[in-house]
Chains A and B, each alone.
Chain A
Amino acid sequence: MQRNNYREESDERLTRSRFLVLFTIGCIFFIVLPVLKSQADEVATTGWDLTPVAADVDFRAIAALNTTSAVAVGENGIIFSTSNNGSSWSAESSGTTRDLLDIDYNGIIVACGDEGTVLVSFERGTWTDISLPTATQLSSITIAEYLSPANSTIFVAGNNGEIWKGDATGNWSQLTTSVTTDLYDIDFLDSTNGIAVGVEGVILGTENGGNLWEPRIVPEGYTEIDFHAIEYVSPIRAFAAGSNGSFISSSGAGDTPVGYLWSGWQTGVSNTLNSVSASSIYKVWVAGDSGYIALSKKGGKDFVNQTYPGEISSDFHSVSMATGFYGFVIGDDGVALHTDREGTDPATIPTARKFSGFQDYASYAYPKLVEGLKNTLKIIYISILFGFTIGITLATFKTSQFNVNVPISLTDSEGAWRTFSFNPLKLFATFYTDIFRNTPLLVQFFFIHFGLVQIGIDLTFDGTFERAYGSAIVALGLNSGAYQTEIIRSGIQAIPTGQMEAGRSLGLTYLQTMRHVIMPQAIRIVIPPLGNETINLVLNSSLASAIGYGELTRQGKLLISITFETFWTWGLVLLFYFSITYTLTNILKYAERKLKIPGLGLGGET
């Protein structure tokens, strides 16, 4: 009686101290940090430097000559050039007052515009008129090939579906196209392969230097889009952009060259996009109306807005990148921008951030770590279930009596077949657990993530998940499954054989007896070791950071690469992990108490 009283008291004390720890964690997570969070307001910034040239000038196109120099053309025949990163611009004489709409640079500089106007500049500062014999409005010009001033291939495209081919001496011939609607842009990869785009989803392609132009199929939903820009980047990639924020890309694959198959991407805006410039098949900028510039580093995926915050609402007409970091953008109202840092805000480039104290730091780190916490929870709950399913199944295999006799020879002394008896289920389960328990989990992660994909096993499932997510779940689940198998097997073997006999004597099948008699008892016995294994799984999930999955540990690493605050970061990461495992521990204790059966297992007080 007295012992019982003592027990109750100590139980109560235990509950109280546990409550205190939980309360402290609760305070940190739900009261302090969210309050701090409200202090942080992200200010959007840009990596583009602005130089207003002249307010009455409307630029239409720009060509970067190198990282520091560029030439821009615009309405009323204006031409401006810079050779000092756009810090200052000087006007050049074009000899015309007609609108100049496009410019291209490839050894020589060419420009085109209204009423068939074409200008060429062999030497910087001087322009020669090589206009077309007709007065078509020319929207786009491109130098497909330049060998010498006398030997080059130039294409222009314009209204009514007209495309002309010529050279720098002014020899023009009109090419046949199948459309009569306006064309807005034309680009050539070399002297033979080119693409032209225009209003209402028109995409034309040629593979023989422009002698034959064939319409290409535009993806569904893009047939009404006016395409304003085409960029033929490489033999395997082309980009096009147009009205309503539309951006599409085409990849060459196998025998199909670029231009036939197009896929759409989300820019997230509805501005008309006027220009595309790519420095590689992945890194591509778009510029458009209302001061819109954006960069995708994944060939059209995940566009990041680089718009000049709050200052420029002029329409941007052209972007031209000299390299992956240096480039120019121009637009209406004499706006000219230059970047030497890919247009990215330096603040988002990983450089050490300074904090005034823990509060300041926590308000910055909290959302990033919560993101990591969510990602960790996302993999562990599936892995636990996955591992448990494997554990139950393979533990049943391991304790099964499914023997197969294979005759191996006739050398028995009595002339009978000597047989080799084995249990394939048990053999498989043993092989599985031996492999996964005797190799490092980190290497299993590497093998599953980097190894399997090479032989064509892609764990992105149906493309819904990122690959690292699939790999992390599979690696953790398979590994934990091996340990859970052993734990559950030990539980099954702890059940007296008489229980199986009693079940079978009632007429239950082997599996029914396992399901209704053996497993319920075995699982109850092994709840404590299973709990340990689950907690191990949570802790092991930090290894998913090694394959690039953005869970808690990886978020911590990334945070440190920006902040260099190792003490606070790892301290908080530890706290976050503790909050998961401690919650789990209490849930398991509760489950153990709830599922406890008097007389089953040790410590069986009724």
Chain B
Amino acid sequence: MSAGALPIIRVQNLEKVYPGNVHAVRGVSFEVRPKQVVAIIGSSGSGKSTVLRCINRLIEPTEGEIYLEEVKINDQKTDINKIRSEIGMVFQSFELFAHLRVLENVTLGLRKVRGYSRAEAKKIACGVLEKVDMLDKLEAFPGQISGGQMQRVAIARALAMNPKVMLFDEPTSALDPELIGSVLESIKALVNEGMTMIIVTHEIGFAREVSDWILYMDHGAVVEEGPPSMLVAPKTERLQQFLGQILDG
């Protein structure tokens, strides 16, 4: 952790109130520095995914400020499409484009957002698909490959845009246990390359293994945060309970 470097993502006092006065996020603040991996853990409905979606404004924050390096993301003047193209996102349910082949899934953003030619896009796509070990399924449709393979393609799709930071929204939750391993391997490989990441996950062990900093959220607020070692000796009662439930489960 180089303390002096400018944070890639800076979230300050983030608030999100859904219609119907549902207060999903209450005053969340944190920073992600270059090459840092931040994990957000917490039980269902604690507001983890909302925080993640606020970062690329798939959900409009109610209050607070979010910065990508020096650019304020939640400013109406900001070109949000440009910001989004610099933030990769991987979804729980993969969200591959069902009508496009594996290769086309990866090249769509390169061609329509970055403006690469078909050949250039294919070259880049093959590069990232090789990293996630999906080079042999270029011509398959998403409906023809397994869940783990789909998620690896989704990672490649986000990675192809050469993002400054990647957001993972429970990347393994929708997968069968035997398929989780390959996806985690791919994410680990990215960590080793020095990719900056925010990971929302239920995989406590994985979070401890790969992350530099962990946020524990409950009822929309960050209850406890710290280095991975905090999972070994939780300070707050709520985190103790949460970890206890997971270990019991």
B77 at the interface (CB under 8 A from A): no
Question: Looking at the complex, which of A9-17, A128-136, A430-438, A502-510 is the stretch in contact with chain B?
Answer: A502-510
Question: Are A507 and B99 closer than 8 Å at their CB atoms?
Answer: no
B67 at the interface (CB under 8 A from A): no
State the CA gap A506–B105 with chains docked (Å): 11
Question: Looking at the complex, which of A52-60, A345-353, A357-365, A515-523 is the stretch in contact with chain B?
Answer: A515-523
Which one of B83, B87, B113 has the greatest number of beta carbons of chain A within 10 Å? B113
Q: 1/0 per residue A306-350: CB within 8 Å of B?
A: 000000000000000000000000000000000000000000000
Query: Which residues of the other chain, B, contact A499 by a CB distance below 8 angstroms?
Result: 95, 97-98
A606 at the interface (CB under 8 A from B): yes
Q: A498-B95, A501-B91 are in contact. Are A506 and B141 (CB under 8 A)?
A: no
Question: Are B144 and A506 closer than 8 Å at their CB atoms?
Answer: no
Interface residues of A (CB under 8 A from B): 496, 498-499, 501-509, 512, 516-517, 520-521, 524, 597-600, 604, 606
Could you say which of B87, B97, B99 contacts A502, with CB atoms under 8 Å apart?
B97
Listed from nearest, the 9 A-B pairs whose CB atoms lie closest are A599-B143, A507-B85, A502-B95, A506-B109, A505-B89, A598-B143, A507-B113, A498-B95, A600-B98
Query: Which residues of the other chain, B, contact A496 by a CB distance below 8 angstroms?
Result: 93, 95
Q: How far is the CB of B95 from chain A (nearest CB, A)?
A: 4
Query: Which residues of the other chain, A, contact B87 by a CB distance below 8 angstroms?
Result: 505
Given contacts A506-B158, A599-B144, 19 further A-B contacts (CB under 8 A): A501-B58, A502-B89, A504-B58, A505-B58, A505-B84, A505-B87, A505-B89, A505-B158, A506-B85, A506-B157, A507-B85, A512-B112, A512-B113, A520-B99, A521-B97, A597-B141, A600-B98, A600-B99, A606-B143
Could you say which of A505, A521, A606 contacts B56, with CB atoms under 8 Å apart?
A505
Q: How far is the CB of B67 from chain A (nearest CB, A)?
A: 18
State the CA gap A598–B49 with chains docked (Å): 30
Q: A516-B112, A521-B99 are in contact. Are A498 and B91 (CB under 8 A)?
A: yes
Q: How far is the CB of B235 from chain A (nearest CB, A)?
A: 35
Could you say which of B85, B99, B112 contacts A524, with CB atoms under 8 Å apart?
B99
Number of A-B contacts (CB under 8 A): 81
Q: How far is the CB of B166 from chain A (nearest CB, A)?
A: 11
State the CA gap A324–B249 with chains docked (Å): 101
Q: How far is the CB of A511 from chain B (nearest CB, A)?
A: 11
List B80-135 residues whose CB lies under 8 Å from chain A.
81-89, 91, 93, 95-99, 108-109, 112-113
State the CA gap A496–B157 with chains docked (Å): 19
State the CA gap A598–B96 with chains docked (Å): 13
B142 at the interface (CB under 8 A from A): yes
Q: A507-B113, A598-B144 are in contact. Are A521 and B98 (CB under 8 A)?
A: yes
Query: Which residues of the other chain, B, contact A597 by a CB distance below 8 angstroms?
Result: 98-99, 141, 143
Query: Which residues of the other chain, A, contact B157 by a CB distance below 8 angstroms?
Result: 506
State the CA gap A507–B86 with chains docked (Å): 8
B161 at the interface (CB under 8 A from A): yes
The majority secondary structure among interface residues of chain A is helix
State the CA gap A570–B87 with chains docked (Å): 66
Question: Are A504 and B84 closer than 8 Å at their CB atoms?
Answer: yes
Query: Which residues of the other chain, A, contact B95 by a CB distance below 8 angstroms?
Result: 496, 498-499, 501-502
Offer 17 A-B interface pairs, CB within 8 angstroms, sorted by A. A498-B91, A499-B97, A501-B91, A502-B91, A504-B84, A505-B84, A506-B157, A507-B84, A507-B85, A508-B81, A508-B108, A524-B99, A597-B143, A598-B143, A598-B144, A599-B142, A599-B143
Q: How far is the CB of B96 from chain A (nearest CB, A)?
A: 8
Interface residues of B (CB under 8 A from A): 56, 58, 81-89, 91, 93, 95-99, 108-109, 112-113, 141-144, 154, 157-158, 161
Q: A498-B95, A501-B91, A524-B99 are in contact. Are A600 and B112 (CB under 8 A)?
A: no
Question: Are B89 and A606 closer than 8 Å at their CB atoms?
Answer: no
State the CA gap A184–B58 with chains docked (Å): 86
Question: Are B143 and A604 closer than 8 Å at their CB atoms?
Answer: yes
State the CA gap A524–B98 with chains docked (Å): 11
Q: How far is the CB of B182 from chain A (nearest CB, A)?
A: 20
Q: How far is the CB of A414 from chain B (nearest CB, A)?
A: 14
State the CA gap A367–B144 with chains docked (Å): 53
Q: How far is the CB of A602 from chain B (nearest CB, A)?
A: 12
State the CA gap A219–B112 with chains docked (Å): 58
Question: Are B81 and A507 closer than 8 Å at their CB atoms?
Answer: yes
Question: Are A599 and B98 closer than 8 Å at their CB atoms?
Answer: yes
Q: How far is the CB of A605 from chain B (nearest CB, A)?
A: 10
Q: How far is the CB of B193 from chain A (nearest CB, A)?
A: 21
Residue of A nearest to B143 (CB): A599
